[in-house]
Amino acid sequence: MNDHPKVCVVGSINMDMVTAVDKMPGQGETVLGGTFRTNPGGKGANQAVAAARLGAEVSLVGAIGDDPFGKMLLKHFDLENIKREGIQIFSETSTGIATIIISENDNRIIVSSGANSKLTPEIVEASKEVIIKSDIILLQFEIPMETISYIVNLGYEHHIPVIVNPAPYKYIPENILTKATFFTPNEGEAFSMRSMPLYESITNKLITTKGKHGAEFITPTCEVKSVHAYAVSVKDTTGAGDTFNGAFAVEIARGKSLSEAINFANAAAALSVGKVGAQAGMPKRDEVNEFLVKVQK
């Protein structure tokens, strides 16, 4: 077993602007919120941090602006032991920003893509060597679809498993559907995927995350298999899905079975919701193992 697999995440990097409110404002309504926080975020960066804390050797390929948030995030990646040679800095664009409202145990997010939208296949090409030397590749949908398509083709040509987290949902081109190894939609994204022409032929690649109801997948004998979630008290669900994806990627690269990888990822995601901030609660491997021992007693 490879305990420190090379995980390459190609994806978004944001600074999250987070406010918690007791009740979500309605259309045209103003409400007073709680403390305002800026936290590192972006689905790509979150998944990279989740994987690195679990012991993987992580490279992040992405884009930021030449601005204070970008600089803060680069320092943050160094502290998280994430290799950042694949991060391009664009001078005339801002770093991606996510406006997040946390309320009633859930969140609403608006992403202003900024530099993330500049992550074209030509830009990513510069990191080709890093990408093709990884044990597994992890992608999400906050960067241009042609880049995702390029990376999926690259992974396929080099026999590297590719996990695609189709969030936020966009129509998925045929080559991505046929060449990616796994898709990890949440229930809403899984529902949207059903209308795609090739849906029936890729159901065996789907790992559907269902929040407090765990996750499910379809076995080679076409059985739907559920892997339960862990009940915990929730402070902030932002980044729980990203924690799941980062952990799932590491465990698959370590050679774990689907059930084992999903169970570990469910435990990591459960621990992640105990603190405010997408990355704040993401656990280290020891914490997940201790938690799993404790809940099995």
Q: Looking at the annotation, which residues are catalytic? A: 242
Strand partners, 63: 88
For the bound state, the minimum distance from the C-beta of residue 255 to ligand RIB, rounded and expressed in Å, comes to 27
Residue showing tokens 């559920």: 226
Q: Considering the complex, state which of residue 98 and residue 273 has its C-beta at the smaller distance from ligand RIB.
A: 98
Give the nearest distance from C-beta 47 to ligand RIB in angstroms.
9
Nearest approach, Cβ of residue 106 and ligand RIB (Å): 12
Q: Encode 20-29: b = buried (16+ Cβ within 10 Å), e = exposed.
A: beeeeeeeee
* CA–CA distance, 272 with 269 (Å, rounded to integer): 5
- Smallest separation, CB 76 to ligand RIB (Å): 13
Distance in Å, CB of 212 to ligand RIB, minimum:
17
Closer of 98 and 160 to ligand RIB (Cβ): 98
Give me the least distance between CB of 8 and ligand RIB, in Å please: 18
User: How far apart are the C-alpha atoms of 161 and 50, rounded to whole Å?
Assistant: 18
Nearer to ligand RIB, 135 or 242 (CB): 242
Cβ nearer to ligand RIB, comparing 256 with 275: 275
Counted residue by residue, the chain has a size of 297
Which lies closer to ligand RIB via its Cβ, residue 111 or residue 160?
111
**DSSP-derived secondary structure for the chain:** --SS-EEEEE---EEEEEEE-SS---TT-------EEEEEE-HHHHHHHHHHHTT-EEEEEEEEESSHHHHHHHHHHHHTTEE-TTEEEETTSPPEEEEEEEETTEEEEEEE-GGGGG--HHHHHTTHHHHHT-SEEEEESSS-HHHHHHHHHHHHHTT--EEEE--S--PPPHHHHHH-SEE--BHHHHHHHTTSTTHHHHGGGBEEE-GGG-EEEE-TTS-EEEE-------S--TTHHHHHHHHHHHHHHTT--HHHHHHHHHHHHHHHTTSSSTTTTPPPHHHHHHHHHHHH-
Q: Which is nearer to ligand RIB, 1 or 79 (CB)?
A: 79
What is the number of the residue whose Cβ is closest to ligand RIB? 41
Q: Which residues lie near ligand RIB (CB under 6 A)? A: 12, 14, 16, 41-43, 46, 98, 109, 111, 142, 238-239, 241-242, 278
